[in-house]
Amino acid sequence: MNIGILGGGQLARMIALAGYPLAQHFTILDPGADAGAVGLGKHLHGAYDDMKLLGELAETADIVTYEFENVPADVAKFLSDHTCIYPPAKALEVSQDRLTEKNFFHQLDIPTAPFAPINSLEDLEKAMLEIGYPAIIKSRRLGYDGKGQVVLKSAEQLAYAWASMQDAPSIVEGFIPFQREVSIIAARRPGGEVAFYPLSENSHSGGILRVAECREVDPLQEAAESHVTRLLEALNYVGVITLELFDVNGQLLANEFAPRVHNSGHWTIEGAETSQFENHLRAILDLPLGSTQARGHTAMVNFIGGMPDTEQVLKIPHAHLHLYDKTARKGRKVAHATIRSDDAEQYKESLQQLIILAEASDDS
Protein backbone atom coordinates (compact mmCIF):
# COMPACT_ATOMS: atom_id res chain seq x y z
CA MET A 1 0.00 0.00 0.00
CA ASN A 2 0.98 3.60 -0.40
CA ILE A 3 0.43 5.70 2.70
CA GLY A 4 0.31 9.46 2.46
CA ILE A 5 1.41 11.52 5.42
CA LEU A 6 0.65 15.20 5.93
CA GLY A 7 3.77 16.49 7.61
CA GLY A 8 7.30 15.17 7.37
CA GLY A 9 8.65 15.76 10.87
CA GLN A 10 9.76 13.27 13.50
CA LEU A 11 6.34 11.67 13.92
CA ALA A 12 6.09 10.95 10.18
CA ARG A 13 9.68 9.72 10.31
CA MET A 14 8.91 7.23 13.06
CA ILE A 15 5.70 6.13 11.31
CA ALA A 16 7.62 5.47 8.09
CA LEU A 17 10.40 3.59 9.90
CA ALA A 18 7.73 1.37 11.47
CA GLY A 19 6.09 0.89 8.09
CA TYR A 20 9.05 -0.44 6.11
CA PRO A 21 8.95 -3.89 7.75
CA LEU A 22 5.30 -4.14 6.69
CA ALA A 23 6.38 -3.28 3.12
CA GLN A 24 4.50 0.00 3.15
CA HIS A 25 5.49 2.86 0.85
CA PHE A 26 5.11 6.49 1.79
CA THR A 27 4.24 9.78 0.09
CA ILE A 28 4.99 12.73 2.33
CA LEU A 29 3.64 16.25 1.89
CA ASP A 30 5.76 18.81 3.70
CA PRO A 31 6.91 22.34 2.89
CA GLY A 32 10.40 21.70 4.30
CA ALA A 33 13.05 20.61 1.81
CA ASP A 34 14.91 18.61 4.45
CA ALA A 35 12.19 17.62 6.90
CA GLY A 36 13.23 14.50 8.83
CA ALA A 37 10.89 12.03 7.11
CA VAL A 38 11.13 13.09 3.49
CA GLY A 39 14.00 10.74 2.65
CA LEU A 40 11.82 7.78 3.60
CA GLY A 41 9.34 8.15 0.79
CA LYS A 42 8.29 10.26 -2.14
CA HIS A 43 8.41 13.89 -1.08
CA LEU A 44 5.65 16.23 -2.27
CA HIS A 45 7.38 19.50 -1.56
CA GLY A 46 4.96 22.33 -0.87
CA ALA A 47 2.29 23.83 1.33
CA TYR A 48 -0.36 21.73 3.07
CA ASP A 49 -3.10 23.53 1.16
CA ASP A 50 -1.44 23.29 -2.27
CA MET A 51 -4.33 21.81 -4.23
CA LYS A 52 -2.15 20.44 -6.99
CA LEU A 53 0.01 18.51 -4.51
CA LEU A 54 -3.06 17.39 -2.56
CA GLY A 55 -4.48 16.05 -5.81
CA GLU A 56 -1.25 14.14 -6.39
CA LEU A 57 -1.31 12.87 -2.81
CA ALA A 58 -4.91 11.66 -3.14
CA GLU A 59 -3.99 9.98 -6.42
CA THR A 60 -0.88 8.23 -5.08
CA ALA A 61 -1.89 7.27 -1.57
CA ASP A 62 -4.35 4.51 -0.72
CA ILE A 63 -4.72 5.98 2.76
CA VAL A 64 -3.69 9.41 4.03
CA THR A 65 -2.76 10.02 7.65
CA TYR A 66 -1.21 13.03 9.39
CA GLU A 67 1.28 13.91 12.09
CA PHE A 68 -0.42 17.11 13.33
CA GLU A 69 -4.05 17.91 14.10
CA ASN A 70 -4.21 21.35 12.55
CA VAL A 71 -4.99 20.03 9.10
CA PRO A 72 -7.24 22.68 7.47
CA ALA A 73 -10.88 21.57 7.30
CA ASP A 74 -11.07 21.94 3.52
CA VAL A 75 -7.92 19.84 3.09
CA ALA A 76 -9.43 17.10 5.24
CA LYS A 77 -12.66 17.37 3.23
CA PHE A 78 -10.80 17.14 -0.08
CA LEU A 79 -8.85 14.07 1.06
CA SER A 80 -11.99 12.42 2.49
CA ASP A 81 -13.70 12.95 -0.85
CA HIS A 82 -10.82 11.69 -3.00
CA THR A 83 -9.09 9.00 -0.92
CA CYS A 84 -9.30 7.56 2.58
CA ILE A 85 -8.16 9.71 5.50
CA TYR A 86 -7.46 8.09 8.88
CA PRO A 87 -7.99 9.10 11.64
CA PRO A 88 -11.34 10.35 10.31
CA ALA A 89 -11.92 14.04 9.55
CA LYS A 90 -14.42 14.29 12.42
CA ALA A 91 -11.53 13.72 14.90
CA LEU A 92 -9.69 16.68 13.36
CA GLU A 93 -12.75 18.88 13.50
CA VAL A 94 -13.31 18.15 17.19
CA SER A 95 -9.70 18.33 18.34
CA GLN A 96 -8.91 21.53 16.46
CA ASP A 97 -11.31 23.57 18.55
CA ARG A 98 -10.86 23.46 22.32
CA LEU A 99 -14.48 24.44 22.93
CA THR A 100 -15.91 21.80 20.59
CA GLU A 101 -13.55 19.29 22.18
CA LYS A 102 -14.59 20.11 25.74
CA ASN A 103 -18.27 20.01 24.80
CA PHE A 104 -17.65 16.67 23.12
CA PHE A 105 -16.06 15.31 26.32
CA HIS A 106 -19.12 16.46 28.26
CA GLN A 107 -21.53 14.78 25.88
CA LEU A 108 -19.60 11.56 26.46
CA ASP A 109 -19.58 11.94 30.26
CA ILE A 110 -15.84 12.39 30.28
CA PRO A 111 -15.21 14.85 33.13
CA THR A 112 -13.15 18.01 32.53
CA ALA A 113 -12.15 21.09 34.51
CA PRO A 114 -14.83 23.84 34.44
CA PHE A 115 -14.68 25.88 31.24
CA ALA A 116 -16.57 28.59 29.39
CA PRO A 117 -16.49 30.03 25.87
CA ILE A 118 -15.02 33.53 25.68
CA ASN A 119 -15.71 36.00 22.86
CA SER A 120 -15.41 39.27 24.76
CA LEU A 121 -14.00 40.81 27.92
CA GLU A 122 -17.52 40.67 29.35
CA ASP A 123 -17.69 36.92 28.73
CA LEU A 124 -14.37 36.53 30.51
CA GLU A 125 -15.33 38.67 33.51
CA LYS A 126 -18.61 36.84 33.90
CA ALA A 127 -17.09 33.38 33.51
CA MET A 128 -14.37 34.08 36.05
CA LEU A 129 -16.96 34.82 38.74
CA GLU A 130 -17.95 31.17 38.53
CA ILE A 131 -14.67 29.47 37.66
CA GLY A 132 -12.41 31.23 40.16
CA TYR A 133 -8.63 31.79 40.14
CA PRO A 134 -6.25 30.56 38.95
CA ALA A 135 -7.53 29.81 35.48
CA ILE A 136 -6.17 29.80 31.95
CA ILE A 137 -7.47 31.49 28.83
CA LYS A 138 -6.60 29.83 25.52
CA SER A 139 -7.52 30.50 21.94
CA ARG A 140 -9.94 27.87 20.73
CA ARG A 141 -7.72 27.02 17.77
CA LEU A 142 -4.04 26.46 16.94
CA GLY A 143 -2.72 26.14 20.48
CA TYR A 144 0.52 24.23 20.61
CA ASP A 145 3.14 23.76 23.29
CA GLY A 146 2.05 26.68 25.47
CA LYS A 147 1.65 29.30 22.76
CA GLY A 148 -1.55 31.43 22.72
CA GLN A 149 -2.34 30.94 26.39
CA VAL A 150 -2.45 33.30 29.38
CA VAL A 151 -2.62 32.19 33.00
CA LEU A 152 -5.13 34.23 35.01
CA LYS A 153 -4.29 34.82 38.64
CA SER A 154 -6.54 37.75 39.53
CA ALA A 155 -9.34 39.95 38.16
CA GLU A 156 -6.88 42.78 37.45
CA GLN A 157 -5.31 40.67 34.69
CA LEU A 158 -8.48 40.10 32.71
CA ALA A 159 -8.44 43.17 30.44
CA TYR A 160 -4.78 42.63 29.55
CA ALA A 161 -5.27 38.91 29.06
CA TRP A 162 -8.26 39.39 26.77
CA ALA A 163 -6.40 42.07 24.78
CA SER A 164 -3.52 39.68 24.27
CA MET A 165 -5.91 37.14 22.76
CA GLN A 166 -6.48 39.66 19.93
CA ASP A 167 -10.21 38.88 19.69
CA ALA A 168 -9.55 35.21 18.93
CA PRO A 169 -12.52 33.03 19.90
CA SER A 170 -11.30 31.61 23.19
CA ILE A 171 -12.04 29.35 26.09
CA VAL A 172 -11.31 29.83 29.76
CA GLU A 173 -10.58 26.79 31.87
CA GLY A 174 -10.44 26.53 35.63
CA PHE A 175 -7.04 25.45 36.84
CA ILE A 176 -7.67 22.46 39.06
CA PRO A 177 -4.67 21.54 41.22
CA PHE A 178 -3.76 18.08 39.96
CA GLN A 179 -1.27 15.54 41.26
CA ARG A 180 -0.05 14.51 37.84
CA GLU A 181 -0.74 14.50 34.14
CA VAL A 182 -1.16 11.17 32.42
CA SER A 183 -2.02 10.19 28.89
CA ILE A 184 -3.53 7.07 27.46
CA ILE A 185 -2.67 5.96 23.96
CA ALA A 186 -5.01 3.58 22.21
CA ALA A 187 -5.32 2.14 18.71
CA ARG A 188 -8.58 1.20 17.00
CA ARG A 189 -9.23 -0.71 13.78
CA PRO A 190 -12.16 -0.01 11.47
CA GLY A 191 -14.09 -2.99 12.85
CA GLY A 192 -13.76 -1.78 16.42
CA GLU A 193 -10.82 -3.83 17.75
CA VAL A 194 -9.03 -1.65 20.32
CA ALA A 195 -5.66 -1.93 22.08
CA PHE A 196 -4.59 0.27 24.99
CA TYR A 197 -1.08 1.10 26.09
CA PRO A 198 -0.24 1.41 29.76
CA LEU A 199 -0.65 5.02 30.97
CA SER A 200 2.16 7.48 30.44
CA GLU A 201 2.89 9.83 33.31
CA ASN A 202 4.04 13.12 31.82
CA SER A 203 6.18 15.94 33.19
CA HIS A 204 6.16 19.33 31.47
CA SER A 205 8.23 22.44 31.84
CA GLY A 206 7.72 25.70 29.96
CA GLY A 207 4.63 24.15 28.36
CA ILE A 208 6.73 21.41 26.69
CA LEU A 209 6.71 17.72 27.52
CA ARG A 210 10.02 16.73 29.10
CA VAL A 211 9.61 13.22 30.51
CA ALA A 212 7.02 10.49 29.93
CA GLU A 213 7.17 7.41 32.13
CA CYS A 214 5.32 4.22 31.39
CA ARG A 215 3.05 3.22 34.27
CA GLU A 216 2.82 -0.50 33.71
CA VAL A 217 0.48 -0.83 36.67
CA ASP A 218 -1.62 2.20 37.54
CA PRO A 219 -4.81 2.42 39.60
CA LEU A 220 -6.32 4.76 37.00
CA GLN A 221 -5.62 2.58 33.94
CA GLU A 222 -9.15 1.22 33.82
CA ALA A 223 -10.81 4.65 34.17
CA ALA A 224 -8.59 6.05 31.41
CA GLU A 225 -9.45 3.13 29.13
CA SER A 226 -13.13 3.70 29.76
CA HIS A 227 -12.84 7.40 28.84
CA VAL A 228 -10.83 6.84 25.69
CA THR A 229 -13.11 4.02 24.58
CA ARG A 230 -16.10 6.38 24.60
CA LEU A 231 -14.11 8.85 22.54
CA LEU A 232 -13.00 6.21 20.03
CA GLU A 233 -16.51 4.91 19.56
CA ALA A 234 -18.16 8.33 19.29
CA LEU A 235 -15.66 9.31 16.58
CA ASN A 236 -15.82 5.92 14.83
CA TYR A 237 -12.10 6.28 15.12
CA VAL A 238 -9.38 4.49 13.15
CA GLY A 239 -5.70 4.78 14.09
CA VAL A 240 -3.85 5.79 17.24
CA ILE A 241 -5.36 8.38 19.57
CA THR A 242 -3.90 10.09 22.62
CA LEU A 243 -6.02 11.38 25.48
CA GLU A 244 -4.35 13.66 28.02
CA LEU A 245 -5.81 13.56 31.50
CA PHE A 246 -5.23 15.20 34.87
CA ASP A 247 -5.22 13.04 37.96
CA VAL A 248 -7.07 15.08 40.61
CA ASN A 249 -7.11 13.05 43.82
CA GLY A 250 -7.69 9.87 41.88
CA GLN A 251 -10.32 11.31 39.53
CA LEU A 252 -9.37 11.79 35.90
CA LEU A 253 -10.25 15.04 34.14
CA ALA A 254 -9.77 15.14 30.38
CA ASN A 255 -7.49 17.93 29.17
CA GLU A 256 -7.37 17.31 25.43
CA PHE A 257 -6.89 14.60 22.87
CA ALA A 258 -4.61 14.34 19.86
CA PRO A 259 -5.84 12.30 16.87
CA ARG A 260 -2.36 10.92 16.23
CA VAL A 261 0.73 9.26 17.61
CA HIS A 262 2.08 11.30 20.47
CA ASN A 263 5.30 12.40 22.10
CA SER A 264 4.18 10.85 25.40
CA GLY A 265 4.17 7.45 23.68
CA HIS A 266 7.69 7.46 22.29
CA TRP A 267 8.80 5.04 25.02
CA THR A 268 6.74 2.40 23.17
CA ILE A 269 9.48 2.00 20.53
CA GLU A 270 11.78 0.13 22.89
CA GLY A 271 9.51 -0.11 25.90
CA ALA A 272 6.43 -1.83 24.46
CA GLU A 273 6.21 -4.98 22.40
CA THR A 274 4.66 -3.07 19.51
CA SER A 275 5.31 0.66 19.12
CA GLN A 276 2.54 3.24 18.82
CA PHE A 277 3.83 3.90 15.29
CA GLU A 278 3.44 0.32 14.16
CA ASN A 279 0.04 0.02 15.80
CA HIS A 280 -1.09 3.22 14.10
CA LEU A 281 -0.20 1.63 10.78
CA ARG A 282 -1.73 -1.72 11.67
CA ALA A 283 -4.94 0.10 12.65
CA ILE A 284 -5.26 2.22 9.50
CA LEU A 285 -4.33 -0.79 7.33
CA ASP A 286 -6.99 -2.83 9.16
CA LEU A 287 -4.46 -5.40 10.34
CA PRO A 288 -4.50 -7.17 13.72
CA LEU A 289 -3.10 -4.89 16.42
CA GLY A 290 0.16 -5.84 18.10
CA SER A 291 0.69 -6.44 21.80
CA THR A 292 0.88 -3.14 23.73
CA GLN A 293 2.51 -4.81 26.71
CA ALA A 294 5.34 -2.89 28.37
CA ARG A 295 8.72 -4.60 28.39
CA GLY A 296 10.16 -3.81 31.79
CA HIS A 297 10.53 -0.34 33.29
CA THR A 298 10.60 2.32 30.63
CA ALA A 299 10.46 6.08 30.09
CA MET A 300 11.25 8.74 27.53
CA VAL A 301 13.13 12.02 27.89
CA ASN A 302 12.92 14.83 25.31
CA PHE A 303 15.88 16.84 24.13
CA ILE A 304 14.78 20.41 23.54
CA GLY A 305 16.76 23.21 21.91
CA GLY A 306 20.19 21.58 22.02
CA MET A 307 21.45 18.37 20.45
CA PRO A 308 22.40 15.57 22.81
CA ASP A 309 25.87 14.11 22.64
CA THR A 310 25.30 10.63 21.17
CA GLU A 311 28.19 9.03 23.04
CA GLN A 312 27.04 10.51 26.37
CA VAL A 313 23.49 9.26 25.90
CA LEU A 314 24.41 5.78 24.73
CA LYS A 315 26.85 5.17 27.52
CA ILE A 316 23.99 5.38 30.01
CA PRO A 317 23.03 1.74 30.65
CA HIS A 318 19.86 0.78 28.72
CA ALA A 319 19.61 4.14 26.91
CA HIS A 320 18.31 4.34 23.33
CA LEU A 321 18.56 7.47 21.23
CA HIS A 322 16.27 8.86 18.54
CA LEU A 323 17.67 11.85 16.70
CA TYR A 324 15.29 13.69 14.40
CA ASP A 325 17.91 15.03 12.00
CA LYS A 326 16.75 18.59 12.65
CA THR A 327 18.79 21.71 13.21
CA ALA A 328 18.71 22.69 16.88
CA ARG A 329 17.05 25.95 17.83
CA LYS A 330 15.54 27.36 20.97
CA GLY A 331 12.51 25.41 22.19
CA ARG A 332 12.66 22.90 19.35
CA LYS A 333 12.39 19.16 20.01
CA VAL A 334 15.41 17.66 18.32
CA ALA A 335 15.61 14.18 19.81
CA HIS A 336 14.36 11.87 22.48
CA ALA A 337 15.94 9.04 24.37
CA THR A 338 14.41 6.14 26.22
CA ILE A 339 15.42 3.88 29.06
CA ARG A 340 14.21 0.28 29.22
CA SER A 341 15.36 -2.04 31.95
CA ASP A 342 14.07 -5.04 33.85
CA ASP A 343 15.84 -3.81 36.94
CA ALA A 344 13.95 -1.11 38.85
CA GLU A 345 17.02 0.40 40.50
CA GLN A 346 19.04 0.49 37.29
CA TYR A 347 16.06 2.04 35.54
CA LYS A 348 15.78 4.87 38.07
CA GLU A 349 19.49 5.54 37.98
CA SER A 350 19.68 5.57 34.18
CA LEU A 351 16.58 7.75 33.88
CA GLN A 352 18.10 10.23 36.32
CA GLN A 353 21.32 10.40 34.30
CA LEU A 354 19.33 10.93 31.12
CA ILE A 355 17.27 13.75 32.64
CA ILE A 356 20.47 15.48 33.76
CA LEU A 357 21.88 15.24 30.21
CA ALA A 358 18.65 16.58 28.71
CA GLU A 359 18.58 19.51 31.12
CA ALA A 360 22.19 20.35 30.31
CA SER A 361 21.51 20.45 26.57
CA ASP A 362 18.29 22.47 26.96
CA ASP A 363 18.71 26.13 26.12
CA SER A 364 15.35 27.35 27.40
Q: How far is CA 134 from CA 112, 155, 159, in A?
A: 16, 10, 15
Query: Considering the complex, what minimum distance in angstroms separates the CB of residue 12 from a second copy?
Result: 12
**Distance between CA atoms of residues 128 and 174, nearest Å:** 9
Q: What is the CA radius of gyration of the chain?
A: 20
For Cα atoms 92, 96, 97, give the angle at the middle one, nearest 5 degrees: 130
Running DSSP on this structure, what letter comes out for residue 291? P
Residue 273 binds to a second copy (criterion: CB under 8 A): yes
4 is in an annotated binding site: no
Closest CA to 276 of 337, 196, 203: 196
- Tallying the residues shown for the chain, one arrives at 364
Q: Which stretch binds a second copy (CB under 8 A): 20-28, 96-104, 152-160, 166-174?
A: 20-28
Q: Minimum CB separation from a second copy for residue 341, in Å? A: 8
For a second copy, the binding residue among 157, 263, 274, 353 (CB under 8 A) is 274
Q: In terms of Cα–Cα distance, which of 233, 216, 259 is closest to 92?
A: 259
326 is in an annotated binding site: no
- Candidate list 310, 330, 360, 364; residue touching a second copy; CB under 8 A: 310
Per-residue x/- track, 34-73, a second copy (CB under 8 A): -----xxx--------------------------------
Q: What's the CA gap between 149 and 133, in Å, rounded?
A: 15
| Identified binder of a second copy from the candidate list 317, 329, 330, 363, rule CB under 8 A | 317
**Among 147-155, 239-247, 255-263, 288-296, the segment contacting a second copy (CB under 8 A):** 288-296
Binding-site member from 211, 270, 292, 304 for a second copy (CB under 8 A): 270
What SS3 class is residue 249? coil
Decide: is 296 part of the binding site for a second copy (CB under 8 A): yes
Query: Which residues lie below 8 Å from residue 150, measured CB to CB, with a gap of 6+?
Result: 136, 137, 157, 161, 164, 165
Q: Which of 20, 133, 144, 160 binds a second copy (CB under 8 A)?
A: 20
Q: Is 340 in the site for a second copy (CB under 8 A)?
A: yes
Q: Is 103 left (phi over 0), alpha (psi -120 to 50) or beta?
A: alpha
Please, what is the Cα angle at 285 between 184 and 88, to 5 degrees?
Answer: 60
Count of residues of this chain found to bind a second copy when the rule CB under 8 A is applied? 35
CB of 268 to a second copy, least distance (A): 12
Footprint of a second copy on 98-157 (CB under 8 A): none
- List the binding residues for ATP: 98, 138, 143-149, 173-176, 181, 204, 255-256
Which residue ranges make up the site for a second copy (CB under 8 A)? 13, 17, 20-23, 39-41, 270, 273-274, 282, 287-288, 290-291, 293, 295-296, 310-311, 314-315, 317-318, 320-325, 340-342
